[in-house]
Structure 1
Amino acid sequence: MARKIFVGARIFDGERFHDDKALIVADGRVEAIAAGNDLPDGERVTLSGGVLSAGFIDAQVNGGAGRMLNDEPSAASMAIIAGGHRPYGTTSLLPTLITDTSEASTAAIEAATEAVKANRGVAGLHLEGPHLAPARKGAHLAELMRPVEDRDVKAFIRAREAIGTLLVTMAAEQVTVAQVRELAEGGVTVSIGHSDCSSEAAEERFDAGARGVTHLFNAMSQMGHRAPGLVGAAIDHPSTWCGIIADGHHVDPKALRTALRAKRGEGKLFFVTDAMSLVGSEKDSFTLNGRTVRRERGGFCSKLVLSDGTLAGSDVDMISTIRYGVTYLDLTLAEALRMATLYPARFLRLADRGYLSPGARADLVHLTDALTVTATWLAGETV
């Protein structure tokens, strides 16, 4: 049995911190958290203070390391993107294909099936479109948007069976309650987003099995005192999970703090990056569906915009969202870490990730006290 023993750092197991303890990893999985004076034989990994946590999980990653998934939906692209985010603590992610042709979607499904088997950080696939609402298109191409057809439902269920984890973002206007129910029963994770729907329409789909909303507050009907919209329905519904982009540009911190205080029940807010290709790259622009997206530096982090000023994804990485949460959202470090580990794992039903208890996959990240990443491990191996 190959065993590693991590010592010298506080251990965050997903629920609480452990001081003066060691994390024991055997054959790529957590064996125990044990007192330092009662350790088995094994390779010692000595850390210089800081925090050892489960690796971060990102459910929405359009690109990284200079590569956009839409430009080349292949397993090789997914590996490059995953590698580009690993220095920032992300050990599991869903490469995300934004609205594109059916051929691109098919290629992404085939690529994800291969990439997940490689076991190098690709945990599934996120299809964000084409079943979105043109009224809330954001940076997506409205001309490619369309309603869900029954053949799409069957194709998504087949894809989920092949990949393992499939997340699809859909507008409530483009998918029926019956279709949501069939998708959920087929194991597909449905998230409502890019939608101008009423709160009632959203609630019907949540009750039918839609598990979450995509980037809460952005590209959706807002909360009014008589028309709560998708924002109000998502915050109010107890089992609905809400991804948030915490970069200082997408959502005002006052709105995020309010949502964090208001959200009650099983469903929680969790961090996503919605990152584009410039994360992990020194470039200042890239092309998205024939349109130039440029990096504007300033603020907590840079922002990415089209020529008309529309936000086009983000330039943030996962460790930066944790720092933002602690600094601007009044989060404890424990809760900020949960929003990057335990909560996205539960949303995506990744049963062996997001925490450090016996049997969990030993995907790890070591952080300094200043919340910078020093090292990551996949299944206990340094990467």
Structure 2
Amino acid sequence: MSRVVLAGARVVRPVGVDAGGRVTVEDGRIVADARPAEHRPAESSPVVDLTGHWLVPGFVDLHAHGGGGASFSAGTAEEALRVIRAHRAHGTTTMVASTVTGDLGDLAAQAGTLSELVEQGDLAGIHFEGPFIAAGRCGAHEPTLLRDPDRSAVGELIDAARGTARMLTLAPELPGGIEAVRLLRDHGVIAAVGHTDATYEATRRAVEAGATVATHLFNAMPPLAHRAPGPIAALLEDERVTVELINDGTHLHPSVLGLAFRSAGAGRVAFVTDAMGAAGMGDGSYPLGPLRVEVAGGVARLAEGGAIAGSTLTLDRALRRAVTVDGLPVAEAVRALSATPARLLGVADRVGSIEEGKDADLVVLDEEFAVAGVMRGGEWLSGPPRPTALSSPRGR
């Protein structure tokens, strides 16, 4: 039996922050120990003193294309594992692999490789971003490879993922868009509205058909206007929709992020990275699917045209910015990084919050919200931040 006690941290739980909290991990899971310290028997379990730190659930990223100099679209398990390791070092213990627009055959081959990593437990699923998106809002997607979301093409990607497809982003105004949303819903795949020129009314039809996610809200869609509210208003106002936000300081102004939180509520906002290969790396030239991206000052842009091309964000940075720049309460920011995306993916029974019976996926943060330790399934991937010590007779 493997058991460790994490003590003294400010523990962010679903009900709030537990100052000086205690979390017991046994055989990879969080277990209960509600007894007062003076009534706990002496034990030989190691105790990690986390005084002066935050203890939060492992982060859950719904939308990431790469990191650590690698990309999910490379189509190899080796590169995919490099991406996963890079983001785990920054606290993301659960992640979905996002592809970019490509030839259907190439995307199907990528899905075949990534599905094996889902089956092994390294990934939580596959997200297809494109090719069923609007040409006028394609951003860092190759425009010559875009196509309408006809039933056959969408079905081909679902089948290629062998039950591991979790989300597909599309522009619902395209021919076949609403039918595609229904097809995705019927197969248990999240239909996400994004890279779209949809009107308010067309977006409403997509939500009624089953769309439940806004892919990086505000980005790659018409802006909010007082006579033409477009997709932003439709997605923010509907309680069935979870909205992705890229909180890197480049994609969104703090006031816009605040507007989204006030409109949707903390339970409907999911921070995502939309990261490409440069996440966790330095400036330079990187691939993004068939396109080339130049990163300067941490901002990724297409080498040709200069459009923003994903981000170099990691979720620990999104959390730090949410608290120190955007002024969000720590518990709300953490919820957007963990519980909300976990609920959306249908894995909230295992991850996303610090509760008895859940996987011991935990992140230790210092006073400045920098990662000091990462635990996944009860095993330290980095850290622990302080040496362990045997517990005192009072159990500490």
8 Å Cα contact 1:160/1:187 also seen in 2: no
Letter in 1 for 2:379: E
Which residue of structure 2 lines up, in the alignment, with residue 313 of structure 1? 310
Which among 63, 66, 80 is matched to residue 66 of structure 2? 63
Against the structure 1 CA distance between its residues 23 and 178, is the aligned structure 2 distance closer, same or farther, given a 3 Å change threshold? same
Which among 81, 85, 88 is matched to residue 87 of structure 2? 85
- 2:206 counterpart SS class: helix
Against the structure 1 CA distance between its residues 18 and 149, is the aligned structure 2 distance closer, same or farther, given a 3 Å change threshold? same
Whether 2:351 is the aligned partner of 1:353: answer yes
Against the structure 1 CA distance between its residues 267 and 322, is the aligned structure 2 distance closer, same or farther, given a 3 Å change threshold? closer
The alignment's TM-score, normalised by the length of structure 1, stands at 0.92
8 Å Cα contact 2:150/2:177 also seen in 1: no
Which residue of structure 2 lines up, in the alignment, with residue 252 of structure 1? 253
Against the structure 1 CA distance between its residues 283 and 350, is the aligned structure 2 distance closer, same or farther, given a 3 Å change threshold? same
- 1:182 counterpart SS class: helix
Whether 2:54 is the aligned partner of 1:54: answer no
Letter in 2 for 1:173: E
> 5+ unaligned residues in a row in structure 2: which ranges?
382-396
Output the CA distance in 1 between the equivalents of 2:127 and 2:94.
13
- 1:230 counterpart SS class: helix
What is the CA deviation profile of residues 297-350 of structure 1, one whole-angstrom value per residue up to 9, with x for unaligned ones? 1xxxx2111243210111111111111111232211111111111111112222
Greater shift in the superposed pair: 349-358 or 177-186: 177-186
Larger Rg: 2
Against the structure 1 CA distance between its residues 88 and 36, is the aligned structure 2 distance closer, same or farther, given a 3 Å change threshold? farther
8 Å Cα contact 1:22/1:36 also seen in 2: no
Which residue of structure 2 lines up, in the alignment, with residue 141 of structure 1? 142
Matched ranges for 1:148-187 at <5 A? 148-158=149-159, 162-163=163-164, 166-174=166-174, 175-187=176-188
Output the CA distance in 2 between the equivalents of 1:319 and 1:293.
23
- 2:24 counterpart SS class: strand
The alignment's TM-score, normalised by the length of structure 2, stands at 0.89
Against the structure 1 CA distance between its residues 290 and 131, is the aligned structure 2 distance closer, same or farther, given a 3 Å change threshold? closer
Shift of 1:290: 5.1
8 Å Cα contact 1:11/1:21 also seen in 2: yes
Greater shift in the superposed pair: 37-46 or 231-240: 37-46
What is the CA deviation profile of residues 40-77 of structure 1, one whole-angstrom value per residue up to 9, with x for unaligned ones? 7434333243111110111111111111222x222222
Shift of 1:260: 1.5
8 Å Cα contact 1:61/1:276 also seen in 2: yes
Letter in 2 for 1:24: T
Whether 2:292 is the aligned partner of 1:278: answer no
The root-mean-square deviation of aligned C-alpha atoms, in Å, is: 2.0
Which residue of structure 2 lines up, in the alignment, with residue 378 of structure 1? 376
Output the CA distance in 2 between the equivalents of 1:193 and 1:49.
41
Against the structure 1 CA distance between its residues 342 and 33, is the aligned structure 2 distance closer, same or farther, given a 3 Å change threshold? farther
Whether 2:17 is the aligned partner of 1:17: answer yes
> 5+ unaligned residues in a row in structure 1: which ranges?
none
Residues matched between the structures, number: 375
Which among 42, 45, 48 is matched to residue 45 of structure 1? 48
Which residue of structure 2 lines up, in the alignment, with residue 303 of structure 1? 299
